[in-house]
Structure 1
Amino acid sequence: MVYLFYRVDGETSAMATFQGRPAYLQIADDIRQQITGDTLRAGDKLPSESELMTDYGVSRIVIRNAVEVLQNEGLVIKQQGRGTFVREQRPMRRRVLGDLYGKRPTGSPMKRATEAEGRRSEWEYQSRRTTATKAISERLGIEPGDPVTRTNYRFFADDEPIMLSTSYEALATTEGTPVEQPEGGAITGVVPRMDAIGLHITHVTEDVNARAPRPYESESLQIAPGVPVMAITRTYFAGERPVETADIIVAADRYTLTYNVPVPAADEA
């Protein structure tokens, strides 16, 4: 079946036609194209449901389904009593692992990267002692139930929340040292803190997955409905010894993760 819609003025809509494609998806395609093509811009109000019904010649439920698709994609946002508006698409910021550690850091690499963009860097945190779960113990190379320091972070750039992080360090590594508290001393940042106690970070591993945000993540990062997050598992190693591991959450519509991977020269292979 081919859907072809006409507006009330008799002109064909800009929507592409597809065989066997539900009408609400075609309408969503049309509006999406207007948004990505800059016909509709951030802050613009979409026509009312009644106006869209007239424009596309379909029922209210079809229009609602189409708008729901766009809302779930993070392209529009509904405001109670006001209507549906095109959501501001924040610029994607590249987060390059090689740039974070191109030089051995003397402080927080997140702070340095944020300020390099000309933005103010701040963070809030809370540390507490707890015990390692099985998953955390495997990542840190310790036994389940061993004591660890857990620190929850929320990072900001110009007052905008940009990242959540939960880090874990074995107390056997830091207890009784000047860097026992991740944020309680003069030195911050995993690499310089570990340098201070003679544990020199040699490499960092990251595993990245995409998923739907948890409710508290959506609230903490002010994530629009339908926007996924990138969940990053990062572990710092001193040789073969893992010394810190973290679970990091960033909104997928705000960052592009880019990795620089060095390749040995031919005579080193």
Structure 2
Amino acid sequence: MTRKPRYLWLADQLRTPILRGEMPPGTRLPSRTRLARTYRVSEQISRTALRLLVTEGLVEARPGSGYYVRDVPDVFRLCRTDATSGSGLGRLSREPFGTEQEIGEHPINERLRMREGEPVYRTTSRGLAEGRPLTLHRSWEPASLTVGTLRTPFDSAPEVGLLERLASAGYPVDRVVEEVGVRVLRDSEAALLDSAPGITVLVVERTHFSGDRPVETSDLIGSADQCRLLYKLTLARPRPRGRA
């Protein structure tokens, strides 16, 4: 049997009492030196074990102070459904930032199947929990679809949703594709989320189609610690046996 690396073994010794509630949030963990002496390991091993617990979200490092057991963060479920294409923000409140026209760039051009140099409308909003930003939503749509009409994101009434607006412009949405992944938070996104660049975030790339044409694409970016995606999908009922 392969022997478990010592840093994993040490992380287990610390993780177990944390998960059992024996070390409540705010508890200061022993220093790297003290851990090394207590468990008879090197300081490199104790440092690696503590960093692993930080990565798992159980412990936080406070510069100049040490390592502490983290508070359990509230979890917000973002509903994804095949019935509507709303914000899906659940208990989060939406804070709009407005719409701007810009020249589309890669990879947005690729997702919208647009040529280089074509303009898009970019709309930005945030999802707030008790006034604190938790999610960032950015959407892009080809300006050519609604330019010169009263159905652009600039001209449409706030209460008119995306699907209704595009349908009235002659592009009824009949298909939605989502791709979910994780990546690090970028500088421009971190500024809007009042967070630090480089942390791990959950990203939902959603694209709306009218027939085979993509008419809007968006990124929903949320804290990996606090955001969960809740999918509600409708399944066709199986026909009873014996019926044609």
Whether 1:259 aligns to 2:231 is: yes
CA distance, structure 1, for counterparts of residue 178 and residue 214 of structure 2: 13
Whether 1:151 aligns to 2:123 is: yes
The corresponding residue for 2:22 is 39
| Cα contact 1:53–1:59 (8 A) shared by 2 | yes
- Pairing of 1:1-269 with structure 2 (within 5 A): 19-98=2-81, 102=83, 104=84, 109-110=87-88, 113-114=90-91, 121-181=93-153, 185-187=157-159, 189-217=161-189, 220-221=192-193, 228-267=200-239
CA distance, structure 2, for counterparts of residue 142 and residue 196 of structure 1: 22
SS where residue 107 of structure 2 aligns?
helix
> Unaligned 5+ residue runs, structure 1?
1-17
CA distance, structure 2, for counterparts of residue 155 and residue 73 of structure 1: 24
What number of residue pairs does the alignment pair up? Answer: 239
Question: Structure 2 vs 1, CA of residues 222 and 128 (structure 1 numbering), >3 Å: closer, same or farther?
Answer: closer
Q: Which amino acid aligns with 1:57?
A: R
Q: Which amino acid aligns with 1:177?
A: T
Query: 1:46 deviation in Å?
Result: 1.2
- Greater share of helix: 1
CA distance, structure 1, for counterparts of residue 166 and residue 188 of structure 2: 31
TM-score, normalization by structure 1: 0.75
CA distance, structure 2, for counterparts of residue 155 and residue 217 of structure 1: 13
- Greater share of strand: 2
| Cα contact 1:71–1:226 (8 A) shared by 2 | no
Query: 1:54 deviation in Å?
Result: 3.3
Question: Structure 2 vs 1, CA of residues 131 and 266 (structure 1 numbering), >3 Å: closer, same or farther?
Answer: same
- CA deviations on 1:132-151 (whole Å, 9 max, x unpaired) are 23532332243222111123
Q: Which amino acid aligns with 1:68?
A: R
SS where residue 259 of structure 1 aligns?
strand
CA distance, structure 2, for counterparts of residue 224 and residue 58 of structure 1: 33
Pairwise CA RMSD = 3.0
Q: Which amino acid aligns with 1:240?
A: D
Percent sequence identity is 31
| Cα contact 2:175–2:211 (8 A) shared by 1 | yes
CA distance, structure 1, for counterparts of residue 197 and residue 21 of structure 2: 22
